[in-house]
Structure 1
Amino acid sequence: MEYDFLRNTITDTVFARFSMDHEALGFWLSEELADNSELYVEICQQIERLQNGQGNEWRLVGKALSLELDSEQARIFANDIEDNDDQELDESMSFYDGESEAFCGLEDFYEVIVNWRRFLDEN
C-alpha cells in the first residue's frame, strides 16, 4: 500500500492519495478524519483496546464512508456499498469497488493514521 499526503497551497487544504485498491482510505482520511484530533484519539484508543483483546470490533459511521475495525484489520467502505451487493452482473463483469472499499491490517492502519496526524501537525 503506497500513499502520499499532500497540501494544496492554493486552497490550503490537505488530502491523502493512496495506491489502487486503497483509494477509499485516502478519501476517508481527507474527508472523514481530516484534522479532527478528538476522533483521532478515539480511534487510537479503540485500536489499542482491540489489540489488547478487549472487544471484537468497532464501527464508526461517517458522512459518506464508514470505518470498521476488528483485532486484525481495518475496513473503510462507502455507506451505500451494500446496495451494490443486491445487483447481479454477468459472470464476466464485476464492480470495481477500490474507490468505495479498502482493507488493510490493523497495524498498517494505525501507522497510516499516525503518519497522517504527524503530517497535519507539521503543516
Structure 2
Amino acid sequence: MEYDFLRNTMTGTAFARFSMDHEAMGFWLSEELGDNPEKHVEICQQLEKLQTGQLSDWRLIGKALSIEFDCEQVRVFANNIEEGEEEDAEMDESMSFYNGESEAFCGLEDFYAVLVNWRKFLDEY
C-alpha cells in the first residue's frame, strides 16, 4: 500500500492519495478524519484496545465513508456499498462493479502507521 499526503496550495486543504485498491483509505482520511485531533485520538485508542484484546471489533460510521476494525484488519467502505453488492449479485457473471474507490482493506499495524504519518503531516505543514 503506497500513499502520499499532499496539500492544495490554493486552499491549504490536506488530502491523501493512495495506490490502486486502497483509494478509499485516502478518501476516508481526507474527508472523514481530516484535521480532527479528537477523532484521531479516539481511533488510535480503539486500535490499541483491539491490539491488546480489549475489543474484538469497532466501527465508526461517517457521512459518506465508514471504517471498521477487527483484531486483524481495517476496512474502509462507502456507506452505500451494501446496495452495490446486492446489485452486483444480480449482474451477469461476466460483469462486475469496480469498487476499489469504495472499499479498501489493510492490516491494523499498517493502518496505525498511516494514522501516525497523517497526523505528523498535518502538524508539520
Alignment partner, residue 65 of structure 1? 65
Shift of 1:86: 1.3
CA deviation vs aligned residue, 1:13-53 (integer Å, no higher than 9, x gap): 11000000000000000000000000000000000000001
Q: Tell me if 1:99 matches 2:92.
A: no
Cα distance in 2 for partners of 1:45, 1:12 equals 28
Q: TM-score, normalised by structure 2?
A: 0.97
Shift of 1:85: 1.6
Alignment partner, residue 40 of structure 1? 40
CA deviation vs aligned residue, 1:72-111 (integer Å, no higher than 9, x gap): 1000000000001211111111110000000000000000
Cα distance in 1 for partners of 2:122, 2:62 equals 20
Structure 1 segments (4+ residues) deviating >4 Å: none
Overall identity of the aligned pairs, in %: 74
Q: Tell me if 1:119 matches 2:121.
A: yes
Q: Which moved more, 1:88-97 or 1:31-40?
A: 88-97
CA RMSD of aligned residues (A): 0.6
* 1:111 partner amino acid: A
CA deviation vs aligned residue, 1:36-71 (integer Å, no higher than 9, x gap): 000000000000000001121000000000000111
Q: TM-score, normalised by structure 1?
A: 0.98
Count matched residues.
123
Q: Tell me if 1:90 matches 2:92.
A: yes
- For residue 108 of structure 1, give the secondary structure of its aligned residue in structure 2: helix
Alignment partner, residue 8 of structure 2? 8
Alignment partner, residue 108 of structure 1? 110
Cα distance in 1 for partners of 2:45, 2:23 equals 24
